[in-house]
Every structure is written in C-alpha cells, then in structure tokens.
Amino acid sequence: MSSIRINAPLEDSVIFKLKAGDRVLIEGTVYTARDAAHSKLKALIENNQELPINLVGQVIYYVGPTPAPEGKVIGSAGPTTSTRMDRVTPILLERGLKGMIGKGDRSTSVIDSIIKNKCVYFAAIGGAGALIADSIIESEIIAFPELGTEAIRKLTVKNFPAIVAIDSFGNNLYNQGPLEYLEKIRDNAKTW
C-alpha cells in the first residue's frame, strides 16, 4: 500500500479525503506539545490571553524529544500516549487545530470533537523515535522553554510517516482493526 503525501498546515479539502487506515507522509510545519504545554495553553485560553501559535490549520505532535546528538537537529522523537491530552484537545480543536499525531486511541469527547470540527488524528509508530527524528529537518523552541523537552517546538518535517487513526467522519482504526481481524479469522475457520 502506498502512502499519501500531505502538507501541513492542513486544508479541509485534504482532511476530507483522508480515511482511517490511510498511510501518509507529512511535509511542512508541525508543532510539538505534551501534557505540560497543554496545561499552559488551557490556562491561556481560560484567561483570554493570546496563544503562542495560531492554531488554525495546524498539526500538533505529542512528543517530548530527547536532546539533539551532534550533527542532528533533534534527538529521538517518538510519540507519547495521546489520551493524556484529551482533557484539553476539544478546546484546541474549537480554536482551529486540524491535526494531531500521537499513539493510542482517543476518548469519546475527542472523537466527537474531531467529527464536529472536521479534524484528523494520526498515529505514529511508538518505539521508532530515532527513525522518526530523521523526518525532522528543523526544530526551534517557540514557547515555554522552561518546560525543557515539553516546550512547544516548531518542526519542519519531510516524509514524516503516520497512519490516519481517526478520520474527520469518526471512522476509528482502533475499532476497525480488531473487527477486520476477527472477520478474517472467521473466514479462515470456514475454509478449514
């Protein structure tokens, strides 16, 4: 199966074409944010303060990269578990965030918000942080430097590999995958 090449920030016309299970290669700008950065973003929103980035059309990658080794722009950059950001995600989606990259399934409230706001959730491969880092060609801290690895970074990515885990219609690979597997087992049992 070939991969679909997409550019970030995301446009609605691209998002609507993506289906759960599609493999993608992302090129462009992606921002990092994990638990601590999400808490700070939530506080800024609640206090009607300006956010450090314009979220409209943007993609956030749930990652806290390791320090860059000599000759590299970033260290290992594998995804973290997405559910830790679920309490803040709907607020960010309402403000224009269009894509998220992480690992693991999302809560019902996040899935509902993905459908309502016509967004997409991508899964990156856990345990492949060193390989993913090769897709990151620039990295710059743009907010909350005091958070260290959890600071918000602006990344420039090229051929960043991901899978559409939840599409803008709510189709969820985390639900579909096990059902398809069970169906194949049933079909194979009939041929024995």
How many domains in the chain? Answer: 1
Contacts 24+ apart (CB under 8 A), 69-73: 72/133, 73/136, 73/137, 73/138, 73/139
Q: How high does pLDDT run on average in the chain? A: 92
DSSP-assigned letter for residue 127 = T
Contacts 24+ apart (CB under 8 A), 133-137: 133/65, 133/72, 133/74, 133/75, 133/76, 133/77, 135/159, 135/160, 135/161, 136/73, 136/74, 136/77, 136/160, 137/73
Tell me which residues are annotated as active site: 38
Share of the chain above pLDDT 70, in %: 91
- The CATH number for 143's domain is 3.20.130.10
Q: How far is CA 17 from CA 1, 20, 69, in A?
A: 16, 10, 38
pLDDT at 187: 59
**pLDDT by residue (tens digit) across 119-166?**
999 999 887 888 899 999 999 999 999 999 999 999 999 999 999 999
Higher pLDDT, 172 or 128: 172
pLDDT at 175: 86
pLDDT at 125: 86
Segment among 105-119, 129-143, 167-181 with least mean pLDDT: 167-181
Cα dihedral across residues 19, 20, 21, 25: positive or negative: positive
185 has pLDDT over 60? no
Range of the domain at 158: 4-190
**pLDDT by residue (tens digit) across 22-55?**
999 999 999 999 999 999 999 999 999 999 999 9
The DSSP secondary structure of 2-65, one letter per residue, reads PPEEEEES--HHHHHH--TT-EEEEEEEEEE--HHHHHHHHHHHHTTPPPSS--TT-EEE---P
191 has pLDDT over 90? no
Report the predicted TM-score, pTM, of the whole model to 2 decimal places: 0.91
